[in-house]
Chains A and B, each alone.
Chain A
Amino acid sequence: MTSPRGSLRPRPPTLLDRRRRRVDELAEASGRSLTADAFRRLRRNPVAIVGAVIVGLFVLVSILAPWIAPHDAATAFPELQRTLRPDSIPGAQPGFPLGSDQNGRDFFSRMILASRQTLLVGVLATLIGLVLGVVIGALAGAFGGWVDTVLMRVTDVLLSIPSLLLAISIAALAAKPSQTTVIIAVALVSVPVFARLLRGSMLAQRESDHVLAATSLGVRRRSIVLRHMLPNAMGPVIVQATLTLATSILDAAALSFLGLGDGDPARAEWGLMLANAQSYLDVRPALAFWPAIAIILVALGFTLLGEALREALDPKGRR
């Protein structure tokens, strides 16, 4: 029984169709792991692809930076400095596609090389926060009881301080402000977030059937926590880490803007360049414009990827 083409009413499923679908479902359920399933959904999501392309380009540029950049980041060029005045910064000219920065250095090369430092800030800050947060969250989630209570009380208090204010307080403790103190401050702020998230999903794991099964099989507690609970509880944390990559870069830029960063003018990092460019906004807005665009794009890329990951890993979103 076939319906004519162009008919508005869909053909009612035949028995064969239903059987076929059932087999497909079974194959899907047995043949693919959760991760592979999530990855498949990720690949079909245009948001994920846009995010991945942006992030991929960013990583690629930062890896290839020394070969792409025509000049060094710290060298000042006499041909640029010759026309450099407090009220005029030379623009594009042969050999210097984006012109000069405020110190007569090649702005284009600095933009390219800064991708490395920016990636470093984001990745290091996120990684430190992630590791510390995972350790704390796993301890709280695995032990429960008073360990859980104490750790979660402290994280609650840290979460009750607005994150940028907390980062400011931590960064201000440094006797000598530097890129490192900025990274540490930004990293520490994300620790309570990671800890709370992981603890929450560890608790959910503790109640789950497979943990019960492992316990009744006599698996050691240590390996239940490390091999059964932790890997399954990491989903939300990974999503959060992707989003944190974006906020870390933004927060580091804000700290630089407030003067808590690295005064080192030789260092090329987008947040720092954007912060320093504020004094030259009237003279040459491009100095702020390009780092800002770069930061916005990268933050957007990580955010898109994170959101797509969240959707892919969230069982509620599955049809």
Chain B
Amino acid sequence: MLRFIVRRLIQVVPTLLLLSILLFAWLRSLPGGPAAALLGDKATPEKIAQLNTVLGLDQPVPVQYFRFLGRALTGDFGNSLITGEPVTTEIARALPATIELAMAALLLAVVLGIPLGYVAARYRGRPLDTTTVIATLVGVAVPVFFLGYLLKQFFAVDLGWFPPSGRQAVDIDATHVTGFAVLDGLVTREFDASWDALVHLVLPAVALATIPLAVIVRITRASVLDVMGSDFVRTANSKGLAPRTVRERHVLRNALLPVSTTIGLQTGLLLAGAVLTEKVFVWGGLGTLLAQAIERRDYPRLQAVVLLGALVYVIVNLLVDLSYAVIDPRVRVR
């Protein structure tokens, strides 16, 4: 087991190295070169030449790359062009908001998706199944940001059930401990603050959860159908096991393996979807940072957020792989 983990960890290293080369190439192909991109509107030929020397851009390319790698490894991604703050500080501040949103969305998608997919598979071909399948197909076809606006317009503006934007009401005086608004309230026993944060979370989480939900439902359904047709389920049935036991112990457990992979893959989508959802709901997390960075062409920030997204994606999928080995002993042998 330990060997498996170590081997999987080592496999990630070349991926990360290649990723750094890609990022380096990306930086070098910025319009007008990195210096011009960094200076933005203030760029003059003299300033660009000066900055090139400071940044070491007059050095040979391999030297530049290793310097870049060294800085990246020590967590130095430069300062934001908008605020002048180190990008890492900005990201650290915005991260809890996005994690909170993404976790809420993922929770929704998993908690609703797996039972829905399972039920659809059990009643295959019946109206319930057909409706579910159609709904998942439509769910994937709706632009996330449009769905966000739709939810906001209907449930926040028209019905007034939920707040239209932000993470917390302005008049709530919450103490910040962890940065996770819902958790903070629980820790400090300010339950009204927690409740308020939760209410703010509902609409963005639903908007963000739609696509992962649709995907999880479909994968669960397909996987359950697949397992139900397999030999060991037939054997279990024919040796007279209670249908319920077969469903729970044989079908569901085996069907959940592909689903867990999908959940890992969906985290990437969640990060990307967060950019769109956060813009709609003025959430103030990483997505908002990224959206601003795009508008103002803040390249250091853009680069750092994208890198973080890739890192999280790689790590989550690594964890999913590892959990596979825990769930399914067959994986370890390979």
In the complex, chain A residues 270-319 whose Cβ is within 8 Å of any chain B Cβ: 271, 274-275, 278, 281, 285, 288, 292, 295-297, 299-300, 303-304, 307
Interface string of A130-165 (1 = CB under 8 A from B): 000000000000000000000001101110111111
Q: Determine which of A157, A165, A173, A258 lies in contact with B18 in the assembled complex, contact meaning CB atoms within 8 Å.
A: A157
B291 at the A interface (CB under 8 A)? yes
Candidates A259, A295, A307; contact of B295 at CB < 8 Å: A259
Interface string of A161-177 (1 = CB under 8 A from B): 11111101100111100
B311: nearest residue on chain A (CB-CB)?
A: A160
> B31, B143, B299: which contacts A274 (Cβ < 8 A)?
B143
Q: Give Cα A83–Cα B22 distance, bound, in whole angstroms.
A: 52
List A contacts of B15 (CB < 8 A): 153, 156-157, 160
Task: Indicate whether A73 reaches chain B with its CB closer than 8 angstroms.
Answer: no
> Is B137 in contact with chain A by the CB < 8 A criterion?
yes
Within 238-293 of A, Cβ neighbours of B (below 8 Å) are at: 246, 250, 253-254, 257-260, 271, 274-275, 278, 281, 285, 288, 292
Cβ-based interface call for B82 (8 A): no
B149 touching A161 by the CB < 8 A rule? no
Q: Which of B128-159 contact A (CB under 8 A)?
A: 137-138, 140-146, 149, 153
Known contacts A169-B26, A169-B306, A257-B276; is-contact A162 B141 (Cβ 8 Å): no
Q: Per a CB cutoff under 8 Å, which of A163, A259, A275, A307 touches B272?
A: A163
Give chain B nearest CB distance to A191 CB in angstroms: 13
A156 CA to B290 CA, complexed, in Å: 24
Q: Output the least CB separation between B204 and chain A (Å).
A: 16
Chain A: interface size category:
35 or more
Q: Does B199 contact A (CB under 8 A)?
A: no
Q: In the complex the two chains form, is B294's CB within 8 Å of A168's CB?
A: yes
Is B302 a contact partner of A169 (Cβ separation < 8 A)? yes
Which residues of A have CB within 8 Å of B290? 165, 168
Partner among A172, A292, A304 whose Cβ is within 8 Å of the Cβ of B137: A304
B221 within 8 A of A: no
Query: In the assembly, what is the distance between CA of A221 and CA of B30, in Å?
Result: 41
**Which residues of the partner chain B approach A260 to less than 8 Å between Cβ atoms?**
294
Interface assignment of B281: CB less than 8 Å from any CB of chain A? no
CB proximity of A305 to chain B, nearest CB, Å = 11
Q: How far is the CB of B220 from chain A (nearest CB, A)?
A: 16
Contact B31 A250 (CB under 8 A): no
The answer to whether A257 and B271 touch across the interface, beta carbons within 8 angstroms, is no
Contact assessment for A162 and B302 in the assembled complex, using a CB-CB cutoff below 8 Å: no
Please give the number of chain B residues whose Cβ is less than 8 angstroms from any Cβ of chain A in the complex. 44
Chain A binding site: helix, strand, loop or mixed by DSSP? helix
**Inter-chain contact A295/B309, CB cutoff 8 Å:** no
Give a binary string over B269-280; 1 marks a CB under 8 Å from any A CB, 0 the rest.
101110110010
Known: A169-B302, A278-B149. A160 touches B19 (CB 8 A): yes
**Which of A161, A169, A254, A307 is within 8 Å of B313, CB to CB?**
A161
Give A146 to B247 CA distance when docked, in angstroms: 46
A299 to B140, CA, bound (A): 8
Cα distance A246–B139 in the bound complex, in angstroms: 13
Pick from B31, B145, B297, B309: contact of A254, CB under 8 Å? B145
Q: Write out the residue numbers on chain A whose beta carbons fall within 8 Å of the beta carbon of B137.
A: 300, 303-304, 307
Across the interface, which residues of A come within 8 angstroms of B119, CB to CB? none
Q: Which residues of B contact A275 (CB under 8 A)?
A: 145
Choose among B19, B141, B314 the residue with the greatest number of A CB atoms under 10 Å from its CB: B141
For B149, list chain A residues within 8 Å (CB). Answer: 278, 281, 288
Residues of chain A within 8 A (CB-CB) of B314 are 160
Q: Which residues of A contact B175 (CB under 8 A)?
A: none
Q: Check if B310 is an interface residue, CB within 8 A of chain A.
A: yes
Tell me whether A162 and B271 are in contact (CB under 8 A): yes
User: Closest approach, in angstroms, between the C-beta of B229 and any C-beta of chain A?
Assistant: 10
A156 vs B310: C-alpha distance when bound (angstroms): 11
Return A130 CB to nearest CB of chain B, in Å. 20
Q: What is the CA–CA distance of A257 and B290 in the complex, to the nearest angstrom?
A: 13
CB pairs A–B below 8 angstroms (12 shown) = A158-B22, A161-B19, A161-B268, A161-B310, A162-B313, A168-B306, A175-B32, A258-B291, A259-B295, A278-B149, A292-B146, A296-B143
Give 5 closest A-B pairs by Cβ, nearest first.
Answer: A164-B272, A175-B31, A162-B268, A299-B141, A161-B310
Chain A interfacial positions (CB closer than 8 Å to B): 153-154, 156-158, 160-166, 168-169, 172-175, 246, 250, 253-254, 257-260, 271, 274-275, 278, 281, 285, 288, 292, 295-297, 299-300, 303-304, 307
B residues within 8 Å of A by Cβ? 14-15, 18-19, 22, 26, 29-32, 137-138, 140-146, 149, 153, 268-269, 271-273, 275-276, 279, 290-291, 294-295, 297, 299, 302-303, 305-306, 309-310, 313-314, 317
Taking A162-B271, A173-B31 as known contacts, 12 extra A-B pairs with beta carbons closer than 8 A to each other, sorted by chain A number, are A154-B18, A164-B269, A165-B310, A166-B306, A173-B26, A250-B143, A254-B144, A254-B145, A258-B279, A295-B141, A296-B142, A307-B137
